[in-house]
Amino acid sequence: MTLHPYILLALFLFSTGCASNPTKPIDLLQQILKDEEAQLTGALLSEQTAAPFPKQGPPKLGLYIMPTGFLHHKFEWTDADRETLQAWANGLQREGLISGSSFLHLASVKGNQWAQLRESAMRYGTDLLLIVNGAAAVDRYNNYKGTLLYWTIVGAYYADGTHSDALCLVRSSLWDARRGTKLAEEEAQGTSKVVGPSGRTEDQNQVTEARRQALTQLMKKLRDDVARISRER
């Protein structure tokens, strides 16, 4: 029997709650993000050969961030994340690689979301559609200080007995919005670690830093993809 990747990830996180496990669930995170992209785009997930763009100047870029408010994602996208992506897109425009950019939104969570997304792209006049998704996992465990001192309230707030190791994976796919063909895909990961008192060590801080690192790496890779596609127009 094959276990769903979400169940495997949950079992992994449960098993590492109190003991150190240096193995990060990167394969499980990758599978989660691939599955979610497949659910959005359907049979179009596999690479396809796109016909060349007509020669009509730099393309306009549509940005779509997939919702992440679920248990296995460990975070939700913030306004700061959106501002980071918008600033990156503005940089592409200054380089002449795109003519402009805008965020796209689904009108409804029901029905064919891929069709809705492409219709939204058409309304905004976008040529390229960038889909971004992400997920994270945290390995939280105690060292010998926690074992010795956490039985007191003072120890829980002052002894550096807890490790919080976060991994964030972000994945993107770049599509020809008009033809519905995938032109490129990238992924990047970030990590963040801290050791501190259990009562004052927040996992979310490490997830945020890991996500920032991953987004930075992803945008560098995507810049090269957009440059290549623009040259081929």
**Span 196-228, pLDDT tens digits:** 888 888 888 999 999 999 999 999 999 999 999
Query: Considering the domain boundaries, does residue 74 fall inside one?
Result: yes
CA geometry: angle at 117 spanning 111 and 120, to 5°?
Answer: 115
Query: Considering the domain boundaries, does residue 184 fall inside one?
Result: yes
Pairing mode of beta strands 181-196, 162-176: antiparallel
Which of 54-58, 85-89, 158-162 ranks highest by mean pLDDT?
Answer: 85-89
User: What residues form DSSP beta bridges with 181?
Assistant: 176
Query: Considering the domain boundaries, does residue 48 fall inside one?
Result: no
CB atoms closer than 10 angstroms to residue 17: 12
Total count of domains within the chain = 1
**Span 34-66, pLDDT tens digits:** 888 888 887 544 444 444 455 578 999 999 998
CATH number at residue 224: 3.40.50
Nearest to 155 by CA among 143, 165, 164: 143
Query: Considering the domain boundaries, does residue 109 fall inside one?
Result: yes
User: What residues form DSSP beta bridges with 14?
Assistant: none
User: What residues form DSSP beta bridges with 174?
Assistant: 130, 184
Please give the residue range of the domain that contains residue 139.
5-42+57-231
d(CA 104, CA 40): 14
